Amino acid sequence: MALKSDKVYVTYGRFQPMTWGHEASFDELKKLADSNGGDYLIYISHSHLSGGTKALKMKHPIPRKDKFAWMKSISKHSAHMVSLEKSSPKLVLQDCEARNYDEAYYCVAQNEIKGYIAKLDTYNGPNGDYSFRHIEVKSTGTRSPDGDDFAISGTKMRNWVLANDVDGFKSGLPRQHGRSYKQINDIMTLIRTNLATIDSSIKV
């Protein structure tokens, strides 16, 4: 991607799987970047069957490469998506630095600005984990589209997969996803197959 600006607005998420809520948040990220003369990047977590409990693993059924390919196929923001082999908020910002950005704006929902995320600017500096001229954590709204309390969520999508409800799953995709019934059914089968490795009661 050609470097157009010295500042970048980034977001980072699990997207298990991606929904129209995520696409709406990407639209807002683009507006924010455009209005401030910056670029924008969407970083996709490498999480797959990760977590210390069965419940947590069930939230990450899609392998990184499959998730990246699926997201690029259904989103109009595909050119701005990045998939790192290993990822975390710090690694995301280090990748932004490697792309020669001088300013970084880490954009997340207000309810996620706490703990480690709220302190990302404290890791900045010549002897820090990254070194930007300016770094800031910005709120994109009160709730995260990755959370279960959003109008659409990964949990709802995974439940539609378990119920074999193609129409329900389709309703959670970005409005102009452009995928056929077979392509939607294929990603649902992939999700169900991975969930079945955690819960043997799930039939593939």
What domains appear along the chain, each with residue ranges and CATH number? 7-196 (3.40.50.620)
What integer best gives the mean pLDDT of the chain? 92
Q: Pick from 74, 76, 47: which is nearest to 62 by CA?
A: 47
pLDDT digit string, tens, across residues 71-88? 999 999 999 999 999 999
Residue 1 pLDDT exceeds 50? no
**169 neighbors 152 (Cβ within 8 angstroms):** no
Query: Which of 16-25, 89-98, 125-134, 147-156 comes out lowest in average pLDDT?
Result: 147-156
Q: In angstroms, rounded to a whole number, what is the distance separating the alpha carbons of residues 155 and 152?
A: 8
Q: With 0-12 CB in 10 A as exposed, 13-18 as middle and 19+ as buried, what is 32?
A: middle
pLDDT digit string, tens, across residues 164-178? 999 999 999 999 999
pTM here? 0.92
Residue 199 pLDDT exceeds 90? yes
Q: How many angstroms separate the Cα of 46 from the Cα of each of 15, 35, 130, 150, 184? A: 10, 30, 21, 22, 22
pLDDT digit string, tens, across residues 87-141? 999 999 999 999 999 999 999 988 889 999 999 999 999 999 999 999 999 998 7
| DSSP per position, 59-73 | T--S-HHHHHHHHHH
